[in-house]
Amino acid sequence: MRKLKLIVTTLLTLVFLLNFTNSTYAASVDGVLKAPEEGWTRFDDRAPELVYSKDDWVQLKNSETTGDYDKTVLGAKHKKKSEIKFKFEGSKIRLITNKSVSYSKNVAVSIDGNVEYFSAWSDDWLHQIVAYEKLDLDYGVHEVIIWTETPSSNVVTYDYRFDAIDIDGTLLDFNYVEPEVPTTPEPEQPSNPDPQPEQPSGNRAILVVTMTTGLEKEYDLPMSDVYSFLNWYDARDLGSGTAKFAISKYANNVGPFIKRTDYMIFDKILTFEVSEYTAN
């Protein structure tokens, strides 16, 4: 009796292993994969995001495609480029095809311009085969182009049959453009950053600016500030530079504040006068 139980247990184990071998999840290149693994999504050959080269494909269905995903598959016409283009967001991709003794041994796959190849050839006619996979992409938007690099040398009807795509994200419209990440602009720096308060000495000048309103503004400045003002004014007059210029009132006119700054607006200046002197 114990021997009979052992035989039954062994047979059940073999049945389980056979079922597992032919199961939906034989996820490896050249293995049958009838549904996507957990975390993946399958897109049929009819997905609207896929762009096919015109007149290079024949869509097959019904009695011809009972073993294919969703019972449809596309035949790549012999000696045509048979191009497929699409974009997807994710980090992994698998291409699901038929394999046959009459199919091409050299189909190209370009991912973001990096080209690799897979074979659709096999001794037997197989359906829902993982013909190609890429598992180590950076997560993001990727552009994929597939084409027949070398036509089949013993073709019956098609160079190969394309069935579906598995990815760990989503397909995108091929015209999708990834938005640029906005950068934080640097804060605008005044043309003349406020210097630290200083005791008047050396070459200086009294700058008197008359505004278009008739208001006069007077500043006691080192000549370096005056030159900065003159350079800014000349550049702005030629159409370059900022519209305003910062003038520090320095310690002689700070009052209760830490510092005070006047901002001159170019188109509000009517005239100005510079009176130079030397401070001991």
Domain 28-172: state its class. mainly beta
Domain ranges, ordered by start, for the chain:
28-172, 202-279
Higher pLDDT, 277 or 131: 131
State the Cα–Cα distance between residues 17 and 27, nearest whole angstrom: 16
Highest mean pLDDT among 45-49, 230-234, 253-257: 45-49
Q: What is the CA radius of gyration of the chain?
A: 38
> At a CB cut-off of 8 Å and minimum separation 6, what does 136 contact?
91
pLDDT one-digit tens code per residue, 147-188: 999 999 999 999 999 999 999 999 999 988 877 766 666 666
pLDDT the model gives residue 114: 96
pLDDT of residue 221: 87
What CA–CA distance (Å, rounded) separates 31 from 9? Answer: 28
Give the separation between CA 30 and CA 129, rounded to whole angstroms: 6
The DSSP code for 33 is B
Residue 192 pLDDT: 55
The full DSSP string for 113-170 is TEEEEE--B-SS-EEEEEEEEE--PPSEEEEEEEEEEE--TT-SSEEEEEEEEEESSE
| 73 vs 66: CA distance, rounded Å | 10
* Amino acid 21: pLDDT: 44
CA 241 vs CA 49, 235, 272: distances in Å: 48, 6, 19
Find the mean pLDDT for residues 197-203: 60
The predicted-structure confidence for 78-132, as pLDDT tens digits, reads as follows 999 999 999 999 999 999 999 999 999 999 999 999 999 999 999 999 999 999 9
Question: Interior CA angle at 213 toward 212 and 219, to 5°?
Answer: 80
- d(C-alpha 159, C-alpha 97), whole Å: 12
- Give the chain's mean pLDDT: 85
Instruction: Express each pLDDT in 23-80 by its tens digit.
Output: 445 578 999 999 999 999 999 999 999 999 999 999 998 777 889 999 999 999 999 9
Does position 195 have pLDDT exceeding 70, yes or no?
no
Is it the case that residue 15 has pLDDT exceeding 60? no
| pLDDT score at 3 | 53
pLDDT of res. 22? 44
